[in-house]
Amino acid sequence: MTPSRPTSISARVPRRSAGARGVIARAIACAVALALASPASASATHAADAPTAAAAVGTPEGLLTWISRHSSNAAVAVLPDRGPAVLSFGAGRRQPLGSTRKVLVAGALTASRAKLSQRVPRSAVERFYVPGTDGGAHEHAQLDATRPTLRQLLRAAIEVSDNASADALLERIGAPAVNAWARRQGLARQDPIYPLLGEFAAWTRDPLWTQRTPSERARRALVVARDVPAGEISLPEIDEQRRLAAASVAGTAADWARLMRRIGRHGDPELVTALDWPRRQNEQMARRFDRFLAKGGSLPGLITEADYVRPAGRPGAAIALFLRDLPPAVEQTLQRTFAQQKLIVRLATDAAFLERARRVLAEK
């Protein structure tokens, strides 16, 4: 999702670049392998190349410690297949979502009974494409050159986090339908959805953007997305992007963990298939997990993940991890090490680590 141009930033974590699909698969495999290794070996490996405080967040243990010391910057919820949350840290506090919000568009699409084999003009997608704002995701989206199907747009929006595909689907479904779907899923504190094109355009066209209510921002973004061509959008400098990103579409970790559990256990098959992309891309993931539904997002200073993880032959768990107002050095470490993904895997697969996390975060 992430805009850039003044400074390069990722579409989601991990970063998108040339050969992004291979990078994603290798990154997920690395995250799983290290997360399932012994804690001692993972820490020792990191200790050799992590002399700075910011680099300490590059392991699940280090990131857990950072979260415990920066409670206003983080929200975590772990919800097992049955019963209440086993870990809740800032989970009722609204946090900006980044591209994680695209799950709402995907869910509303699959609930709409639209035929996903239906084709749309490629121009209906390209009109939402703002070059330099998705880390290369649009170039790596597997879309038909002239008439992509709705299924292709769905998978592009989720799997490579293509902003243009997500916005094209949002326009087709309608923001009211997406918001209604979110309410039916029990997202009680979810901001209304709006197009990324409109958000990025408003950043330099609406001086009151951060002062508006979420509903006002949604109405404004919908208008701007209709009236401003993608080619006319320019972005502010990176420090200003960080400030504006904090006002992006928000939700709570508690709501999102419940949503991902519902999808993971009873979701529409097309939605589940789209979100289960890590297992399609990586054989190691397919062997170790019966399901690994994942959607992450990032904007400057912001990294989010909402997953449903079911280890092979074991019960699953839904995990939402939202990080905001990240110092640049911490953000860069997470983008390089994928520690947030490793943390999620450890919370879902390692009972001792989960108990440690509960103790560490309960102290705050």
Q: Is the pLDDT of residue 40 over 80?
A: no
Mean pLDDT over the full length of the chain: 88
- pLDDT reported for residue 322: 98
The model's confidence at residue 363, banded by pLDDT at 50, 70 and 90, is: low
Give how far Cα 261 sits from Cα of 6, 12, 206, 254, Å. 38, 22, 37, 11
CB atoms within 10 A of CB 84: 7
Average pLDDT on 127-144 reads: 92
pLDDT by residue (tens digit) across 150-166? 999 999 999 999 999 99
Q: Considering the chain, what percentage of its residues have pLDDT values greater than 70?
A: 85
Report d(CA 262, CA 8) in Å as an integer: 35
Q: Is the pLDDT of residue 32 over 80?
A: no
Residue 244 has which token pair?
Answer: 């504006």
pLDDT by residue (tens digit) across 160-198? 999 999 999 999 999 999 999 999 999 999 999 999 999
Q: Print burial letters for 301-321: b (CB count within 10 Å at least 16), e (below 16).
A: bbbbbbbbbbbeeeebbbbbb
- pLDDT reported for residue 41: 40
> pTM for this one?
0.88
End-to-end CA distance of the chain: 32
Average pLDDT on 329-349 reads: 96
Report d(CA 20, CA 96) in Å as an integer: 25
